Structure 1
Amino acid sequence: MRGILEERQTRSYLAFILLLAAAMVAASCLLGWRQTDRMRALYFQWEGRVSSGLLGEGVEPAVIARAFAGTEVTAEGERFLLQAGYTEEITPLWLLPDLYEAGMRQVGGQAAVFGGLSLLLLMGTLLFLGRRQRLYERAAEVMGEYAGGNFSRHLPRNERGTLFQMFASAEQLATALQARSQARQAEKEMMKETLSDISHQLKTPLSALFMYMEIMEGEPEEPSVVREFSGKALKALERIQELIQTLLKVARLDAGAVAFEKEDWPVGRLAGEAAEQLLDRARKEEKQLLLQGEERSHLVCDRSWMREALSNLIKNALDHTDPGGVIRVRWEESPAMLRIFVEDNGHGIPPEDIHFIFRRFYRSSRSSDREGCGLGLPLAKSVIEGQGGVIQVESRPGRGSRFIISFPGFGTEAASGGQVTKL
């Protein structure tokens, strides 16, 4: 009942009904009072006629007065009325002109009053139902647009009541549908871009591979040529394999298909395993890899995926550091946070590129890493954020870059120097 009374239209209609009921009660009372007054007038008129007739017949006034004062109906009186033809059962109303006229007036008045009030009730009900019908039609029209994918209009709102609560729920459902539709559209666009990027990334190594195979096929009797281009073909295949594996990892992360198996691992061990994979490359390119941090520092994470993320950050630093450069991986703790830094003194990141480096397949036009595919940093970001971390980057062109990985809540106490390991 409370929910019904919360609707403004329903409250207005109920108020109209109450006012109309009050008007009907007042009209009934007024008509009843007027009828009583009319009956009193008819009563005195009848007594006047009877007394006049009796006086005309010579009946004493005292006798007439005693007759009018009587309150009992005697058997003699009933027999007299029966003989005169005046009884309730056999005398029709139209033979009593005064009563007949008064009755017709009463019936006509009541019919007019209650007919008018009934007409008002009908008009008010039709008005209420018409407004409610328009409300339903508007809601149906808006919901039809929602079903067609148009969410520009809104259902009636900003009012209270069960009906408008239902409209609010439908509006929330429409908002959810709109968000899902936008997400699907974004997924389609992302898939379209991803397929385009994959096609572009695979085009170069595949073209090179076909060219190498044609050269070897054209000069099968030249061992040096076959060895040279078979090596190049092997590198092209390795690049294709690496690209496909990285794409599969990124796709699994995007689809939420990766369940991180978190365990407590020493940060130094994670950093050492990530750097170990790139030691040979660092030595060949005459670059140093340094690890610095407290041995007691631990991180609850998925060892394999975190090693992958750190390895990608170290590889990115190697890609953008000249021979003789230094790549440093260090970590420190505070009471509220564990932070891991991957720093280099290489080329740095141009200001116009720093906001896009975590975008998939993005590579700066100034990048010297012509063989890269632009997936390492996005993969590292997805792995770190998927385990509750945050990654940031600071860089100055020509002065190097620093990637900062933060894990809130893992710190125990502030670091005090730590150990440096040269790999």
Structure 2
Amino acid sequence: MSTQDSPLHNDSSSAPRRILSLRARLGLGALLLGLAALATTALIVIGMDSVSARIDAALAAEKRIERYSVLSTQVSTFIVVAAEANQSGLPMDERTARLESIAAGITRTFGLLRQDLEAAVAEARALGLDEQSRRATQSIGIARMEALFLSTRDAFLTPAADRERLQGYIDVFAMGFDPHLNGVITAEVRARDAILSGIEDLRLRLTRIAFGIAVATLLLMTGFYLGLVRPQFSRLNQLRDATRQIGQEDFAIILPDRQPDEIGQLFTETNRMARALAHRKAAVDQEWSRLNATIAERTEALRAANAELAQTDENRRRFFADISHELRTPLTVILMEAQLGIQGFAEAAPSFETIRNRALRLNRRIDDLLRIARSETGQLALSASVFDLAEVLRDAVEETRAEVQSAGMVLELAPPAPLAVVGDPNWLRQVVAGLIRNALRHARAGGRIRLVIDRAGGMGRVHVSDNGPGIAPDDQDAVFERFAQGRSSAKAEGFGIGLALAKWVVEQQGGTIAMTSPLPRVDTLGAAPGTKVTVGLPLDIA
């Protein structure tokens, strides 16, 4: 590979002096396109500004024409009123009263026309010196009209003027005012028409310039695409095909990296990566072969270990079955002898009754061992039936009576009424007995345990309450998990599987188990917070 890499590296080292980088070329193209956009924007802004100025000038001319029209009306009214007052021979004060308001309006209109003309002269700077001079000359016509008006008005306000002289003023004013007014209006109309014509010419020029910029921009974009963008797309397609080939674990890739720009550098790195991946793949294949050999060896060893474990499990189940059968024989003899003792020795009947009950309980435990040994999965086999919950509760109390007395505690059980539920009575008895033993272990200092039966929500329920320190809220869900324990002082006793087993047994029978701690004040058995576990089984609805 070194003989092939050397020329490429020589090209890469010398090429930057001859070719701009891809980033620079893209930046140059973007700059040119940006300049074209700026030129277009400037054209639009300048054109709109020029058109706006011309439109404003045309509107101002139209406004002045309207003022000239208003002035013409006011002057006509003044002439009519002045002629009538002169012919009627009105006294000076009446003549002044009639003409004063009209004269004030005409004077106001002349003032507005002068202001409009001054603004027009200022606006005409953008339209050229000729237009500015033409508008400035209009002030002469306005001044002449105003002079005629003022001389006529002053004559009518002079007390010594006679009728013939006033009529002369009216005739001179009427004949001299109209030509000046017509000349000013004509000039304004021409100016307005010239401005509108200029707007059309400006629009045509702007259209031609915009078309030229559009053509130049189109040519620039076409050259930018054909000369730069499309070739780079072709190179990127080559890179995409190369990466797809690498993704298919084909590393025989040689990309042309003669151009020193960014994509050329990416080509060089891709070639280098492909060579590195090819070497790595060869090493991985070698390691994979070695790993497969190791896996085959370990699999064979695991298969042998599994066979040994299966044999061990079979031996365990056989051992449980054998020892259960071996224990049944002496238990049967004990039960028979206890029954004979109950019938033959009245004074010792309670002792023989205790022996018989203990033997029956041990016989039930042996039945449980047999069920485990015969189960294919190693789980408990539950057999559902209808039974009296109160009777099972009494059996559990009787089973744990000696342990309660030994612990110095009091077990409270109100005489329960019969309550038919559906489940496995043997395992429910063991669950209740386990809950009593839990209370003995964790709430011994409280000294009291209470058992209550009720029904609610289609369930027959057993409540086992104690007067212990309670269980923290964060631990209440965890105590039903296998090998989990609470943070009480007695947590080191036992392995923590009792409640987990109880939960499994109850739920497999369609029941529920829940914990409440601390107890409500009305339900506590003493000063301690206490704990209550509630077990529910479906009621018999048959």
- On whether the aligned pair clears a TM of 0.5, the verdict is no
Shorter-chain TM-score bucket reads: 0.3 to 0.5
TM-score by length of 1: 0.36
TM-score by length of 2: 0.28
Q: Which structure is higher in strand share? A: 1
